[in-house]
């Protein structure tokens, strides 16, 4: 499993068994402080840090 920031608001997680992941188990922390996230795409698992900018939601998702 690997992850990368693609914008200041979006993390992509790459894993082979993406569909087995239980979404509620994904948590993101800055140091030890949890931060709010929303899940963009369950197949490719794109975690998006919550952001008020609607343009972010229209970004083309990158294939795993």
Residues binding other proteins (CB under 8 A): 1-9, 11, 13-14, 21-22, 25-31, 35-36, 47, 49-52
Task: Please state the closest distance from residue 40 (CB atom) to other proteins, in A.
Answer: 14
Whose CA is closest to 44, among 60, 24, 28, 33?
60
d(CA 44, CA 58): 15
Q: Choose between 16 and 31: whose C-beta lies nearer to other proteins.
A: 31
* Closest CB 35 distance from other proteins, rounded Å: 4
CB 11 within 8 A of CB 5: yes
């Amino acid at each position: 499993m690997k992850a990368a920031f693609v914008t200041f608001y979006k993390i992509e997680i790459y894993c082979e068994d993406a569909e087995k992941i239980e979404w509620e188990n994904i948590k993101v922390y800055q140091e030890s402080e949890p931060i709010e996230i929303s899940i963009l795409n369950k197949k490719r698992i794109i975690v998006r840090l919550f952001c008020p900018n609607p343009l972010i939601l229209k970004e083309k998702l990158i294939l795993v």
